[in-house]
Structure 1
Amino acid sequence: MVVIGDGDDLVMTEVFLGREALGDGLPRHELRRWYKQMFRGVYLPKNATPTFEDRALGAWLTSDRQGVIAGAAASALHGARWVDVREPIELLVAERRRQPGLVIRMDRFRDDEVTTLAGMPVTTAARTAFDLGRHQPRALALGRLDALMRAAPYGLADVQRLIDRYGPVRGVRQLRELLPIVDGGAESLPESRLRLLLIDHGFAAPETQIAVSGGDGFTALLDMGWRDLRLAVEYDGAHHQSDRVQYLKDRRRLPGLMEREWEVLTFVNEDTPREVIARTYEAYVRRGGAEIDALAWVTRSSAPNRRFGREGGDGWAA
């Protein structure tokens, strides 16, 4: 907390605990007049729009500076993308203190699983991965693990050591299953979900960020696919469709890819899992990929008709 002035002129310039500000001399009526409550007992200026770091700091202060920022909040502090500023802040604490905007976890942790970021105790990248893979819904968990690997590469062996350290804790089976397919090459949460959908239906794990180039100066970077089949699979989010520059860039590279005998399958938010799998399987087999018996479900009329993403664009359906 930074205090400017004295007496009635005291002004707090960042997130702070109300009781500490009052103890430093801020009049109670000034606290009520000029500051708003972020969490119980935690304040910031009324005209301030809290950043993710502000919300993480506020969450930490609710624990009397005893807790540790964890989960998606920790991954964001490590630099991972696609964590919404309104995401509830996960906090490892010794006792439960429920309130809106916080996810309280009383999980065990050790000193070597904690680092300091932005002046706060935050779980290390490996411990963050250990928590994300267990506590998040499966598809979202892979997306979060991919994003963290992209921003702050962690050793899978380090995560395995934590699995061995804590044994059969909640969600560890899911974590064990996801770890081998974590890939920092994914550039969005829907891309991670698309890759998981393909793996779940028997396809070999697709390579991510495939670079295609030629002696004529042509270059292209493909989201994912199978280099030996020259088959790529891509997810086009809302930004691809609304950004004219990106749209033209995507269109202009297609002839060069076709000249090099690449086939590119593009999927959007509105495509159902059945459509994604059916189209990919047809191209996969046609280009020499092995047949996959488990894909018989794609012809069933009773197959689920969920959208690939969440309604409204680059959302997430876990």
Structure 2
Amino acid sequence: MGEVFLGREALGDGLPRHDLRRWYRPIFRGVYVPKASIPSLQDRTMGAWLTSNREGVIAGVAASARHGADWVDDDHPIEILVDERRRQPGLVVRMDRVAADEVVTVDGLPVTTRARTAFDLGRYQKRSLALGRLDALMRAAPFSDADVTMLMRRYGPVRGVRQLRELLPLVDGGAASLKESWVRLVLIDNDFPIPETQIPVFDGDEPFAFLDMGWRDIQLAVEYDGDQHRTDRLQYVKDARRIPKIERRGWEVIRVLKEDTRNEILARVYEAWLRRGGAEIDKMAAFTRTFPPDRWFGRNGNAA
């Protein structure tokens, strides 16, 4: 018997009902796995399809993972397109239209195409996360902006399409984590020029480092120190040693930690931006110590 299966089919094949209850447990309605197993994202995706009577199409974040995108946890809710709503925990059911040319088979399951997956990710995910999910899909399975735009024309003013239209030009497969995408979006939202990602720094003819994001013209980089710096000591030491080498080649590197707030990031980057000769940005006045605002309004105090 497979690791993920429909209970009714197992009973029809002769599995005693008491064995089903004793040795297996449901992960979705009517879908079972061995009690001792911890279902992977792949198992749960299969289970979501089975619970739709093999009629649904895997979509959204789960579809992006099927296309190879990273940073999807095993317990992430599975999105599925079906003709009728079947609410249950761990399953996000959408009754959206989907055309035949928007579905492909991946590892035996019907999954939205890369373009349709991007179309859904950019509309249904929270904006601060949507760009990260789009970046991850572009990194693993590049999709065409033109194909996504075609879907926007096909379906018209559906939910979230305005957000998708805004985010699509910002998608960058060079982002190496969801948090990097978030940092990049914070900078863009506050009028910094769109940062380049994966900027090579050379030792002779060979690059010895790739900077997460930054601006070559003023040699300012922003590096996100993710969880690997907490869990992987060797990686932490390697990265710590390369920073001075990068700085000796004229770069200034702003290191962002997971615990840093949006305002802290903006203040540090903008102060460095000005030191490096970048143009002043009006939006930054409220976030910097160097240029505090002349007056506050509303809850922060009376007008000066």
TM-score in terms of structure 1 length = 0.89
Q: Give the equivalent residue in structure 2 for 1:14.
A: 3
Percent sequence identity over aligned pairs: 67
Cα deviation, 1:177-210, whole Å, max 9, x if unaligned, reads 0000000000000000000000000000000000
What is the aligned counterpart of 1:113 among 102, 105, 128?
102
Q: Give the equivalent residue in structure 1 for 2:87.
A: 98
In structure 2, how many angstroms separate the alpha carbons of the residues matched to 1:86 and 1:218? Answer: 38
Does structure 1 residue 68 correspond to structure 2 residue 57?
yes
In structure 2, how many angstroms separate the alpha carbons of the residues matched to 1:165 and 1:203? Answer: 33
Q: Give the equivalent residue in structure 1 for 2:24.
A: 35
- Is the contact made by 1:297 and 1:303 (CA closer than 8 Å) also made in structure 2? no
Aligned partner of residue 217 in structure 2, secondary structure = coil
**Offset, 1:216:** 8.1
Letter of the 1:80 partner, please give it: A
Q: Give the equivalent residue in structure 2 for 1:59.
A: 48
Q: Give the equivalent residue in structure 2 for 1:164.
A: 153
Q: Give the equivalent residue in structure 2 for 1:243.
A: 232
In structure 1, how many angstroms separate the alpha carbons of the residues matched to 2:269 and 2:298? Answer: 16
Does structure 1 residue 229 correspond to structure 2 residue 231?
no
**Offset, 1:278:** 0.9
In structure 1, how many angstroms separate the alpha carbons of the residues matched to 2:297 and 2:258? Answer: 21
Letter of the 1:113 partner, please give it: E
**Offset, 1:13:** 2.9
What is the aligned counterpart of 2:285 among 288, 296, 304?
296
Does structure 1 residue 267 correspond to structure 2 residue 256?
yes
Letter of the 1:232 partner, please give it: A
Counterpart mapping for 1:142-157 below 5 A: 142-157=131-146
Question: Where in structure 1 do 4 or more consecutive aligned residues deviate above 4 Å?
Answer: 300-304
- Between Structure 1 and Structure 2, how many residues are aligned? 293
- Is the contact made by 1:140 and 1:189 (CA closer than 8 Å) also made in structure 2? yes
Distance 1:282 1:303, change over 3 A: farther
**Offset, 1:241:** 3.3
**Offset, 1:238:** 2.3
**Offset, 1:219:** 1.3
In structure 2, how many angstroms separate the alpha carbons of the residues matched to 1:216 and 1:292? Answer: 35
In structure 2, how many angstroms separate the alpha carbons of the residues matched to 1:216 and 1:251? Answer: 23
**Offset, 1:302:** 8.8
Distance 1:151 1:46, change over 3 A: same
In structure 2, how many angstroms separate the alpha carbons of the residues matched to 1:216 and 1:19? Answer: 63
Cα deviation, 1:109-137, whole Å, max 9, x if unaligned, reads 10000001121100011100000000000
**Offset, 1:285:** 1.8
Counterpart mapping for 1:135-146 below 5 A: 135-146=124-135
**Offset, 1:259:** 1.6
- Is the contact made by 2:49 and 2:56 (CA closer than 8 Å) also made in structure 1? yes
- Is the contact made by 2:200 and 2:207 (CA closer than 8 Å) also made in structure 1? no
Could you tell which deviates more after superposition, 73-82 or 240-249? 240-249
- Is the contact made by 1:90 and 1:103 (CA closer than 8 Å) also made in structure 2? yes
- Is the contact made by 2:225 and 2:257 (CA closer than 8 Å) also made in structure 1? yes
Counterpart mapping for 1:185-204 below 5 A: 185-204=174-193
Letter of the 2:260 partner, please give it: D
Q: Which blocks of at least 5 consecutive residues in structure 1 are unaligned? A: 1-11, 305-318
What value does the CA root-mean-square deviation take over the aligned residues?
1.7
In structure 2, how many angstroms separate the alpha carbons of the residues matched to 1:71 and 1:241? Answer: 30
- Is the contact made by 1:218 and 1:256 (CA closer than 8 Å) also made in structure 2? no
In structure 2, how many angstroms separate the alpha carbons of the residues matched to 1:209 and 1:120? Answer: 34
What is the aligned counterpart of 1:211 among 197, 200, 204?
200
Aligned partner of residue 259 in structure 2, secondary structure = coil
In structure 2, how many angstroms separate the alpha carbons of the residues matched to 1:36 and 1:263? Answer: 54
Q: Give the equivalent residue in structure 1 for 2:72.
A: 83
**Offset, 1:270:** 1.5
What is the aligned counterpart of 1:131 among 101, 120, 145?
120
What is the aligned counterpart of 1:44 among 23, 27, 33?
33
